Chains A and B, each alone.
Chain A
Amino acid sequence: MTLNSLVFMFLFLPVSYLLCRIVRGTAGNIILVLASIIFYAWGNPAHAVLLVLCVLLTYSGGLLIAGLKKDWADRAAMIALIVDAGILIAVLAVFKYTSAALPTGISFYTFSALSYLFDVYRDEEEAASNPLDLALYIMLFTKILSGPIVRYKDMKPQLHDHPVTTEASLAGLELFLTGLFKKVLLADVLGKGFAEISAGSLTVGTAWLGVLFYGLQLYFDFSGYSDMAIGLSKAFGFTVEKNFNYPYLSTSISDFWRRWHISLGMWFRNYVYIPLGGNRCSELMQVRNLAAVWILTGIWHGNTWNFVLWGIWHGAFVILEKFLLGKGKRQLPAVLGVVLTDLIALTGWIFFFTPSAGKAFGWFGALVGIGASGLWKAGMGLVLRNYLITLLIAVLACTPFLHNIHERFAFRGGIVRTMIAAAVYGVLFLFSIASILGSTYTTFLYAQF
């Protein structure tokens, strides 16, 4: 089941929401865990069993690590951590890097489980004594498919205090719908445009257009999903931090990674970069630490060389910025910084959408005319015209412009504005449903990772 499927929006969500409004406390949490298992089992029940076993291993692992630290020795606790974390990583690797069917969201829930075990070992968090708490933290259906990857210590205070209120539910619904519109009305439409552009021979123009369309599609697909996940969490009484902050307005690649998939960046910072020494070591060691983070980030995304190359691509620019261009780049006008960063980030996605390294380099070549069949392809003008309005809205939505208008006018300043905003939301929702009904493919790009 996905967050944008009809069965989720019109059956699963209303039923689970109503139950959680009626039943509170521990019983409410039991309902949420059961609902999450049903949600996850919808596509493949066997994968739900796998999820439950991972939760059981993490729960008992947390208790064991804490117990060994207290009763015996750190070394024994470390062995337990290595064994349990090793098993979780091995399970992830089996599904991610072999021919086995990938359980949806496994990369995300494994990283949640690992962060919990690491935090317990580092005494940053107590081991959960109630298995229900850990199950809810890892399995909560609002975020299990593609994050955000929340730390246990951020969620723990909310596990027994997440009142489902009308006010929070309406705010959550607003964010959920915004995410749905981003996904269905922008990302899916741009995806169709990308398919039309990339079909057939590649020219310089289509190579650049493809990069632009895919970059925007990926952003609205994933940030749309994140908005839906955060909005749903809010509706069920949980506060989850935002996962995107206008990444295409970043003035450097380091800045980009503080704004794109924030929770994954924080995970690698907390559990790889800082434990390796972070920036409190020699420059050479800092380069090693950054390289490790970026190669691992690439590998996390997939099992092909393309993802490793994509990690190296971003890592190289981060290292270049930090050690070679640092001072010079700070002197650049902000606009130029944004343009350069977008150029690097958007062209970097070529590694994502091409099936092999050879095809990726072929696409890079086509950007500058090498191997391209000319400058422009006949018929592309018509394609561009068909998607022009969506493209313009998408570019505007990459900035706070539309959000600011929304914040200023929607649901604020009297009944008339509220009615107009509700009507606009209603119309956009109907458009989205019509689009889902008539569409061919509406899953989320990041769910494959």
Chain B
Amino acid sequence: MKQKTIAALALNAAAAVLLVIFVAVLARPRGKAISSASFETVSGAVLSQVDTGTMQEGDNQMLRRLYRLSPEDFDGFLLYYPTSNMGAEELLLLKLKDLDQQESVTQACEARRATQMASFDGYAMEQYAMEENAILDVQGNYVLFISASDPAGVDRAFREAL
């Protein structure tokens, strides 16, 4: 073999080894499984279980305002929030870019729930109970926060879609 081919073989072998090691590190199991389901699939499944009659869809600004989260940090989000101040129904679905975001997102959802509970505490028992029963479900790269009359049903649909 000529020297050029030998050099190509050495470079190819080195690239192959580096690639295999890097993929092994990158794809190592971390916590719960990452879902490859598309955002449309998951959001469609979740929405099919939610009565959005008392909610309105939130945009980028509402995500920032209600949850202090930046839309560009996520691969997708779906937000529905109450049409009136006396409403407690709320839906937030997030597709994370990185599993490291799980903690900050969990804190943001808990903070939102705490704010809502504080505002209903003492005079709107039904809404307070709804917030209390709200479900925050972190499943790998997807996060669901649902405050509704049947949050468990929505969560079931969420998990089935992943």
Closest A residue to B71 by beta carbon equals: A440
Chain-A contact segment, one of B47-55, B103-111, B120-128, B130-138: B47-55
Closest A residue to B51 by beta carbon equals: A200
Binary contact track A49-93/B, C-beta < 8 Å → 1, others 0: 110011011011101100110111000000010011001000100
List which B81-137 residues lie within 8 A (CB) of chain A.
97-99
Q: Are B19 and A355 in contact (CB under 8 A)?
A: no
Q: Is A395 an interface residue (CB 8 A)?
A: no
Q: Are B19 and A53 in contact (CB under 8 A)?
A: yes
Q: Are B4 and A63 in contact (CB under 8 A)?
A: yes
Q: Are A94 and B27 in contact (CB under 8 A)?
A: yes
Taken together as a complex, chains A and B put the C-alpha atoms of A70 and B2 apart, in Å, by 10
Q: Are B98 and A44 in contact (CB under 8 A)?
A: yes
Interface residues on chain B, size class: 35 or more
Q: Is A199 an interface residue (CB 8 A)?
A: yes
Chain-B contact segment, one of A97-105, A174-182, A314-322: A97-105
Closest A residue to B35 by beta carbon equals: A99
Q: Are B22 and A101 in contact (CB under 8 A)?
A: no
Q: Are A87 and B19 in contact (CB under 8 A)?
A: yes
Q: Are A99 and B33 in contact (CB under 8 A)?
A: yes
Could you say which of B15, B34, B48, B140 contacts A199, with CB atoms under 8 Å apart? B48
Could you say which of B23, B40, B47, B97 contacts A43, with CB atoms under 8 Å apart? B97
Instruction: List residues of chain B with CB within 8 A of the CB of A399.
Output: none
Q: Are A57 and B52 in contact (CB under 8 A)?
A: no
Could you say which of A91, A95, A443 contacts B76, with CB atoms under 8 Å apart? A443
Taking A43-B97, A355-B160 as contacts, is the C-beta distance between A195 and B41 under 8 angstroms? no
Q: Is A245 an interface residue (CB 8 A)?
A: no
Taking A53-B15, A91-B19 as contacts, is the C-beta distance between A71 and B71 under 8 angstroms? no
Could you say which of A68, A355, A443 contacts B161, with CB atoms under 8 Å apart? A355
Taking A67-B2, A100-B26, A354-B41 as contacts, is the C-beta distance between A440 and B60 under 8 angstroms? yes
Taken together as a complex, chains A and B put the C-alpha atoms of A354 and B57 apart, in Å, by 22
Q: Nearest Cβ distance between residue B68 and chain A, in whole angstroms?
A: 16
Taking A43-B97, A100-B27, A353-B44 as contacts, is the C-beta distance between A57 and B19 under 8 angstroms? yes
Q: Are B26 and A50 in contact (CB under 8 A)?
A: yes
Instruction: List residues of chain A with CB within 8 A of the CB of B141.
Output: 101
Q: Are B34 and A99 in contact (CB under 8 A)?
A: yes
Closest A residue to B39 by beta carbon equals: A441
Give the interface SS of chain A, mostly helix, strand, loop or mixed: helix
List which A326-371 residues lie within 8 A (CB) of chain B.
353-356
Instruction: List residues of chain B with CB within 8 A of the CB of A60.
Output: 8, 11-12, 14-15
Give the interface SS of chain B, mostly helix, strand, loop or mixed: helix
Interface residues on chain A, size class: 35 or more
Taken together as a complex, chains A and B put the C-alpha atoms of A91 and B12 apart, in Å, by 16
Q: Are B12 and A61 in contact (CB under 8 A)?
A: yes
Q: Are A98 and B27 in contact (CB under 8 A)?
A: yes
Instruction: List residues of chain A with CB within 8 A of the CB of B52.
Output: 199
Taken together as a complex, chains A and B put the C-alpha atoms of A442 and B101 apart, in Å, by 20
Taking A57-B12, A71-B2, A94-B23 as contacts, is the C-beta distance between A441 and B44 under 8 angstroms? no
Instruction: List residues of chain A with CB within 8 A of the CB of B23.
Output: 50, 91, 94-95
Closest B residue to A441 by beta carbon equals: B76
Binary contact track A87-127/B, C-beta < 8 Å → 1, others 0: 10001001110111110000000000000000000000000
Q: Nearest Cβ distance between residue A423 and chain B, in whole angstroms?
A: 27
The listed residue with most A CB atoms (<10 A of its CB), out of B29, B44, B99, B161, is B44
Instruction: List residues of chain B with CB within 8 A of the CB of A95.
Output: 23, 27
Taken together as a complex, chains A and B put the C-alpha atoms of A303 and B41 apart, in Å, by 14
Q: Is A46 an interface residue (CB 8 A)?
A: yes
Taking A56-B15, A96-B36 as contacts, is the C-beta distance between A441 and B78 under 8 angstroms? yes
Taken together as a complex, chains A and B put the C-alpha atoms of A72 and B4 apart, in Å, by 13
Binary contact track B69-85/A, C-beta < 8 Å → 1, others 0: 00110011111000000
User: Can you list 6 pairs linking A and B with CB atoms under 8 Å apart?
Assistant: A60-B8, A63-B4, A83-B16, A98-B27, A101-B34, A448-B38
